[in-house]
C-alpha cells in the first residue's frame, strides 16, 4: 500500500497485503503450498536469485501467502522497511538478537523479559560468547546509559514487562541508544503495532508473537520482526540463513486473524479493565498490576505513548490466598500458557528477582468478551477443584448478571478513551 494517502488503522488491517496480483481474483490471498518452483528457462532461474519477497524462487523463501501477511504487518508500522516471519515468537526474538550480536558483544536486557527470551540469553548467547547484562525495567535512559560499555551493541526492551507490566520510556531509551550507536529491540506482543507503532517511536527491530493477538484464536504458532530501514537487510539475511520458514496454512490463518485485530483488541481492553476494576474491590486482592491503572510503574508512559491496553494484566493476592489461588487457576483453565485467544485464563507466576517487582504473589489474567460471551466463562466444577474460592463464585454470578448489559469503556482516570 502507498504511504501517500493516510489510512485509518482499521482500514490497514482489512486491506493490508491484498495486492491484486496476489489475490488472483479472490477476496483473500489464497494458500499456496509448494516446495518446488517451476521455471520456463534457465534465465528465469537465475533471475529468481538472490531470493526476495514478491519473487518466486523456492518454497522456503515463501509465496504470496506469506508475503501478503508480512506486508500487512509492515503497513501497521509507519517508517518500517519490512517484516520477516518466524515459526514462533521465541524464534523471532532469537533471530532478531542474532542478527545484531556477535562474539564479544554485550546485550542490555530488561529484567522483566519473557522467560524463553531470558533462557536464550543465559544459554545460547552465552555459548556464543555474547554477554547479557540485565537492567531494572523502571531504569531511566540516564541510568541505562551509565551501564553501557565499549562492548555494548544493543538494548532489548519489553514494554509492558512480562508478568510485572512495568511500562518503559521507549522513545527516550531509543533516542539515547541512537546517540550511542546502539540497536534497540522491543518485544511488542502485549500492545501489537495497533496500540503501539514501535518503529515510529524509534525502535529498530519490533518483535511480536503472532501466536497471541495477531492470530487471536489459539490455533497457530508464529512470530514476526518488523525492521527499520537501517536493520532490514541484516534481519532478512539472518532469517534466510537460519532457514526460518512459516507454513502457508499458518500464514493464511494469521492473516485472517489480523483482519479483526482492531475489534478484538478493543473488546480485550473493555473486558480486562472491567474485570480488573472488579478484582480491585475484592478483599483477597492486594493490588492490580495493569498499565492503564495510575499506580502501575510507568503508567505515565503508557498514557503518553499507547493507543490502548490489551487483555493481559496481573494482580497480587494477599499472602494467605496465594496457595488457594493455584487451585483457582486450574479451575479457570486447563492451559494458561498462551494468552489472547477466545478463552479466559489465569496462571500463577513465580517470584520475580526484579527489584521493582510489585509483589511476589502475582497472578496474570486475560479476559476476552467477558460480558457478552457467557459460554466462555470458566466454571469451578468439583471435578477440577472441589473447593472453589468464594469470591470466584461471586465473580461468576456477577459476570452472568452483567452479561446482557452494555457498557462503554472509560479510562481508569475517568477520561474517555
Residue in the block written with cell 527491530: 205
Catalytic residue among 114, 134, 213, 252: 114
Burial of 344 (0-12, 13-18, 19+ CB in 10 A): buried
Let me know if 111 is a catalytic residue: no
- DSSP strand E in 183-243: where? 183-187, 205-209, 223-227
Q: Is 415 a catalytic residue?
A: no
Residue that is written with C-alpha cell 486447563 in the block: 334
Contact 333, 345 (CB under 8 A): yes
Which of the following is catalytic: 33, 60, 151, 387?
60
Please list, residue by residue across 90-129, b when 16 or more beta carbons sit within 10 angstroms of its beta carbon and e when fewer do.
bbbbbbbbbbbbeeebbbbbbbbbbebbbebbeeebeeee
CA–CA distance, 105 with 151 (Å, rounded to integer): 5
| 3 state SS of 22 | helix
Catalytic residue among 111, 187, 204, 305: 187
Q: Do 224 and 85 form a contact (C-beta atoms < 8 A)?
A: yes
Catalytic annotation on 187?
yes
Listed residue (133, 103, 163, 417) closest to 290, CA to CA = 163
Active-site residue, 367 included: no
Q: Reduced to 3 DSSP states, what percent helix, strand and coil does the chain have, rounded to the nearest 5?
A: 40, 15, 45
User: What nine digits make up the cell of 164?
Assistant: 510485572
Q: Considering the candidates 12, 18, 201, 212, report the single residue annotated as catalytic.
A: 212
Residues annotated as part of the active site? 60, 114, 187, 212
Amino acid at each position: 500500500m502507498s504511504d501517500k494517502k493516510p489510512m485509518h488503522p482499521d482500514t490497514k488491517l482489512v486491506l493490508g497485503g491484498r495486492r491484486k496480483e496476489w489475490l488472483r481474483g479472490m477476496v483473500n490471498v489464497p494458500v499456496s503450498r509448494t516446495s518446488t518452483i517451476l521455471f520456463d528457462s534457465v534465465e528465469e532461474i537465475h533471475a529468481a536469485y538472490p531470493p526476495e519477497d514478491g519473487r518466486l524462487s523456492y518454497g522456503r523463501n515463501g509465496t504470496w501467502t506469506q508475503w501478503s501477511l508480512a506486508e500487512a504487518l509492515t503497513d501497521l508500522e509507519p517508517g518500517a522497511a519490512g517484516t520477516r516471519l518466524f515459526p514462533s515468537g521465541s524464534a523471532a526474538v532469537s533471530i532478531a538478537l542474532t542478527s545484531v550480536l556477535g562474539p564479544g558483544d554485550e546485550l542490555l536486557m530488561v529484567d522483566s523479559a519473557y522467560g524463553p527470551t531470558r533462557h536464550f540469553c543465559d544459554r545460547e548467547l552465552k555459548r556464543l560468547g555474547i554477554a547479557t547484562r540485565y537492567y531494572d525495567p523502571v531504569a531511566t535512559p540516564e541510568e541505562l546509559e551509565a551501564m553501557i560499555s565499549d562492548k555494548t551493541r544493543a538494548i532489548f526492551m519489553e514494554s509492558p514487562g512480562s508478568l510485572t507490566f512495568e511500562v518503559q520510556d521507549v522513545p527516550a531509551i531509543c533516542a539515547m541508544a541512537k546517540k550511542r550507536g546502539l540497536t534497540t529491540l522491543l518485544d511488542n506482543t502485549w500492545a501489537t503495532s495497533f496500540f503501539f507503532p514501535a518503529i515510529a517511536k524509534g525502535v529498530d527491530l519490533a518483535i511480536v508473537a503472532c501466536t497471541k493477538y495477531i492470530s487471536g484464536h489459539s490455533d497457530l504458532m508464529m512470530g514476526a520482526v518488523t525492521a527499520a530501514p537501517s536493520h532490514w537487510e541484516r534481519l532478512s539475511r539472518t532469517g534466510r540463513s537460519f532457514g526460518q520458514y512459516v507454513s502457508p496454512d499458518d500464514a493464511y490463518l494469521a492473516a485472517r486473524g489480523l483482519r479483526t485485530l482492531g475489534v478484538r483488541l478493543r473488546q480485550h481492553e473493555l473486558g480486562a479493565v472491567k474485570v480488573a476494576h472488579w478484582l480491585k474491590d475484592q478483599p483477597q486482592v492486594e493490588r492490580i498490576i495493569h498499565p492503564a491503572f495510575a499506580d502501575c510503574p510507568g503508567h505515565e508512559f503508557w498514557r503518553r505513548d499507547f493507543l490502548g491496553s490489551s487483555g493481559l494484566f496481573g494482580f497480587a493476592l494477599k499472602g494467605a490466598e496465594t496457595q488457594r489461588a493455584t487451585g483457582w487457576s486450574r479451575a479457570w483453565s486447563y492451559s494458561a500458557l498462551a494468552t489472547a485467544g477466545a478463552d479466559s485464563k489465569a496462571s500463577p507466576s513465580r517470584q520475580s528477582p526484579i527489584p521493582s517487582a510489585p509483589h511476589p504473589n502475582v497472578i496474570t489474567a486475560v479476559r476476552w468478551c467477558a460480558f457478552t460471551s457467557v459460554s466462555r466463562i470458566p466454571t469451578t466444577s468439583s471435578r477440577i477443584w472441589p473447593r472453589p474460592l468464594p469470591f470466584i463464585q461471586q465473580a461468576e454470578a456477577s459476570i452472568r448478571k452483567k452479561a446482557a448489559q452494555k457498557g462503554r469503556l472509560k479510562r481508569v482516570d475517568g477520561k474517555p478513551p
